[in-house]
Structure 1
């Protein structure tokens, strides 16, 4: 009993010592962890044999401050001003300008646009287009051209008529007791009659007729049919006094194949046909009109000139001499035209300034030689004078 206080004191001392030892161990662990953070870890060899160099306290690399990239402010886009060419001034048409009437289907409508562009600078020509997109010579129940055309001729009184039709005619022909499928012999016979009848409506009015053929198409079958129709148009139109305009080569390549892109009227490569292989682009319409423009200018003559100021068939003077004063008009020298094949027709037989040949009484040495075979003796002393001097005997060169 007497030893219990002593044992309790010893137990308390042990407990305090244990707590103190645990605190020291914890503090040592904290110091070790701090050192481990301040210096790099040692390898196993360094722990066993030590380092040859003194420990250098580890210094972490300085932290780099990453700056956000600067936002580049894009400069405002420059406004490029493209100089637009000034449109040409509109030419005022003359009150008595001659009319070109264009009739037919959707291709004729494009041709009319091209002709308006071609003659936009000609005051003496007006283009009037009367086209119906889905019309033709087969479906007269839809649009009857033989009934409509005479009224147009009486109303517009055209100087010439341009026809482009047939792209919609590849279908069954009905009406007037007909019910024929396209491509049969009876169909072609009936179609020939309708083409001839349509052409006579123009030529019987004593109006020049230009019939424009069909171009090739993107479909091979349509192209083959267009070839047959063009042959029919040419034979029947020419039989009634019209003129057939062939545009086929302008829309094919060197092998005769259909093309979408080709040369325009200036030789530049452009798109001539639309994606459907049937319709024409603006450049294609102008190219068709280019084929029609030449015979049209031939038929209209000076009326299609851009320099004409008034239509007067009796006026034979150039445009720059029309408005001259009367005194200057009297001073103009007028000469009769000279024929290039036979100049004698204008009364002239010799060149301007030529003089008649001089008639000599004595004959020239040339005349004596040619006509009589006589040659005058050479002058004395000339190289071809073989005469001996007077009184001189010829030398005797004979051998004895």
Structure 2
């Protein structure tokens, strides 16, 4: 039998049990009514979770994001390619055009060779010295050499393009004169005139092509002064001066690297150094020379093979 002492002890513990049960009920209610995310954090794993995962637990495949297509760059319209000029064999009696001078004269000869490539009656012969000029006559003396060149090549026309190397000191007597000083200029005029007189004595007609503008601004004032001298020498010795300046400057007279070619299409005329001439630039130099050259040769038009003047090789007075 249960003793009276144990019954009394059970009665004393009853309030504590009732209180514990009440706390347990309240806690359970809080669990069931807690926010969904709290329940999901506190609950354990079950078979239901494996078979039927909640939306928040499902692994969704990543949405493929299509990259935006890059806008296509608008390509600049290319200028029409210059048609290739058919090269024809020159006739035995083709008239020789002798081109003399410095490295620019060499480029001019290339341009003329292209211009007259389809003309069997005209042959371009280049006899240039790239580093030559009037200042360094110790390198090459044009007034002294021109007669022998003409005797060898027997040209119908001579074209001179010289002066791009002449912006340097010149030895006059025993003194080295500064470029374009008074004594320098007098000696320069004398040397250029000596070449003009030598050409005149051969009785071969000649064209004197002026200097173009250059990318180095300090050069241009000198080149313009040189062109004035060349113009005067050519006229006083029976030649003709060909001015190419406007073909290599813009409307304001400033040097340009690119500009219109002989067909009016924008092209690169000069190299990055602002001195050398590109293929299109060489052709443009020749373009300025074609008309007076055709007139001397007696061609009906540039490129025409019909002549109306003296026979090949004979001087035209």
Q: TM-score normalized by structure 2?
A: 0.72
Conservation of the 8 A alpha-carbon contact between 1:100 and 1:161 = yes
Change in Cα spacing, 1:309 to 1:257, as seen in structure 2 (3 Å) is: closer
Which one of the candidate residues 28, 39, 45 is aligned to 1:47? 28
Conservation of the 8 A alpha-carbon contact between 2:101 and 2:128 = yes
Conservation of the 8 A alpha-carbon contact between 1:99 and 1:127 = yes
**Does residue 271 of structure 1 match 2:271?**
no
| Counterpart-to-counterpart distance in 1, 2:138 and 2:31 | 117
Change in Cα spacing, 1:92 to 1:258, as seen in structure 2 (3 Å) is: same
Equivalence for 1:204: 201
Structure number with greater Rg is 1
Change in Cα spacing, 1:86 to 1:193, as seen in structure 2 (3 Å) is: closer
Conservation of the 8 A alpha-carbon contact between 2:98 and 2:124 = yes
Structure 1 unpaired stretches of 5+: 1-43, 70-83, 315-400
Change in Cα spacing, 1:246 to 1:307, as seen in structure 2 (3 Å) is: closer
| Counterpart-to-counterpart distance in 2, 1:299 and 1:183 | 34
Query: After superposition, what is the alpha-carbon deviation per residue over 1:35-88, rounded to whole angstroms, capped at 9, x for unaligned?
Result: xxxxxxxxx966246748xx9964233986989x9xxxxxxxxxxxxxx99955
Equivalence for 1:395: none
Equivalence for 2:49: 59
What RMSD, in angstroms, separates the aligned Cα atoms of the two structures? 3.2
Which one of the candidate residues 88, 91, 95 is aligned to 1:91? 88
Equivalence for 1:113: 110
Deviation of 1:308 after TM superposition, in Å, equals 3.7
Structure 2 unpaired stretches of 5+: 1-24, 34-42, 65-80, 312-317
Deviation of 1:166 after TM superposition, in Å, equals 0.5
Higher helix share: 2
Which one of the candidate residues 240, 244, 258 is aligned to 2:255? 258
Change in Cα spacing, 1:186 to 1:296, as seen in structure 2 (3 Å) is: same
Which one of the candidate residues 289, 298, 301 is aligned to 2:295? 298
Change in Cα spacing, 1:217 to 1:45, as seen in structure 2 (3 Å) is: farther
| Counterpart-to-counterpart distance in 2, 1:208 and 1:218 | 32
Deviation of 1:133 after TM superposition, in Å, equals 1.1
Conservation of the 8 A alpha-carbon contact between 2:97 and 2:156 = yes
Equivalence for 1:363: none
Equivalence for 2:120: 123
Which one of the candidate residues 139, 144, 154 is aligned to 2:141? 144
Conservation of the 8 A alpha-carbon contact between 1:98 and 1:303 = no
Query: After superposition, what is the alpha-carbon deviation per residue over 1:313-336, rounded to whole angstroms, capped at 9, x for unaligned?
Result: 69xxxxxxxxxxxxxxxxxxxxxx
| Counterpart-to-counterpart distance in 2, 1:312 and 1:254 | 38
Which one of the candidate residues 145, 156, 173 is aligned to 2:170? 173
Query: After superposition, what is the alpha-carbon deviation per residue over 1:4-56, rounded to whole angstroms, capped at 9, x for unaligned?
Result: xxxxxxxxxxxxxxxxxxxxxxxxxxxxxxxxxxxxxxxx966246748xx99
Deviation of 1:280 after TM superposition, in Å, equals 0.9
Conservation of the 8 A alpha-carbon contact between 2:106 and 2:128 = yes
**Does residue 134 of structure 1 match 2:131?**
yes
**RCO higher in structure (CA 8 A, sep ≥6):** 2
Deviation of 1:131 after TM superposition, in Å, equals 0.9
Number of positions where the alignment pairs a residue of Structure 1 with one of Structure 2: 255
Deviation of 1:309 after TM superposition, in Å, equals 8.2
Aligned partner of residue 235 in structure 1, secondary structure: helix
Deviation of 1:98 after TM superposition, in Å, equals 0.4
Query: After superposition, what is the alpha-carbon deviation per residue over 1:97-144, rounded to whole angstroms, capped at 9, x for unaligned?
Result: 000000111111110100001111111100001111111011111122
Conservation of the 8 A alpha-carbon contact between 1:125 and 1:304 = no
Which one of the candidate residues 238, 243, 248 is aligned to 1:246? 243
Change in Cα spacing, 1:174 to 1:269, as seen in structure 2 (3 Å) is: same
